[in-house]
Amino acid sequence: MRKPIIAGNWKLNKTPHEAIGLINELKRELVDVEGVDMVVCPPFTALADAADALTESNIALGAQNIFWEDAGAFTGEVSGPMLKDLGVAYVIIGHSERRQFFHETNETVNKRLRAALKHGLTPIVCVGENLAQREANKTFDIIKDHAEGSLSGLSAEDMKKVVLAYEPVWAIGTGKTATPAQAQEVHAFIRQLLIKIFNASVAESVRIQYGGSVTPENIAALIGQPDIDGALVGGASLKAPSFAAIVKAAQKLEIS
């Protein structure tokens, strides 16, 4: 049984002061939760304050990106050692918005992924198709391309340390959600890809999150699917009641 993982991607939201307030609410709401890995991913400017607020908490800290070099003349980037020193445990890599707006490629995702593993950070690597690609029946081609390119050259042992997130880009911030059956179909396809790229043991152990307009209302049906191991939550992670409800739905399913 793979342990569910619910991660909140705050994107470009929350000042340090606001981050502390949200985290304190989450700590109260989630203090008794067990059996679910919980992660919050504030913007870089709030990471230090968030780390302090999360001290002795059952909620882990994640970042939204990482650069592949440890130091140097790379204006605007943040390195693995910097994140590690702040107490960051997870890092989102290759999010669809990074691919769309900042021209991330499979190659740069792979380099960032390797940097995360090098510094003992757990990467959450995103794959997913946009609306045009889905309507052209290219979903599986895009997923295969993203997975094979982003995970290129990893050993089986490295892959066991990675979390994957399937993002149907057409369902992010649109209010649309892939049906549980649609999401499961792609998650199952990803798991079969992992068998081909690595082996059955790796495929069985890797956790694959769903990310695409996740809400307290749809999480139970999504995470109830056999190959969906959690959620990468966007807008619903910005308010404590909705994020806590999503976590608790995952916990309820885990212990049922």
> Is 167 a catalytic site residue?
yes
CATH of the domain at 144: 3.20.20.70
Of the residues 95, 119, 146, 187, which is catalytic? 95
DSSP the chain: -PPPEEEEE--S---HHHHHHHHHHHHHHHTT--SSEEEEE--GGGHHHHHHHTTT-SEEEEES---SSSSSS-TT---HHHHHHHT--EEEES-HHHHHHH---HHHHHHHHHHHHHTT-EEEEEE---HHHHHTT-HHHHHHHHHHHHTTT--HHHHTT-EEEE--GGGSSSS----HHHHHHHHHHHHHHHHHHT-HHHHHH-EEEE-SS--TTTHHHHHTSTT--EEEESGGGGSHHHHHHHHHHHHHHHH-
Question: Quick one: pLDDT at residue 185?
Answer: 97
> Is 146 a catalytic site residue?
no
- Domain of residue 80 covers 5-255
The pTM of the full predicted model, rounded to 2 decimals, is: 0.96
Of the residues 97, 104, 129, 167, which is catalytic? 167
> For the segment 120-145, what is each residue's pLDDT rounded down to a tens digit?
999 999 999 998 898 899 999 999 99
In the chain, the number of structural domains is: 1
> For the segment 110-121, what is each residue's pLDDT rounded down to a tens digit?
999 999 999 999
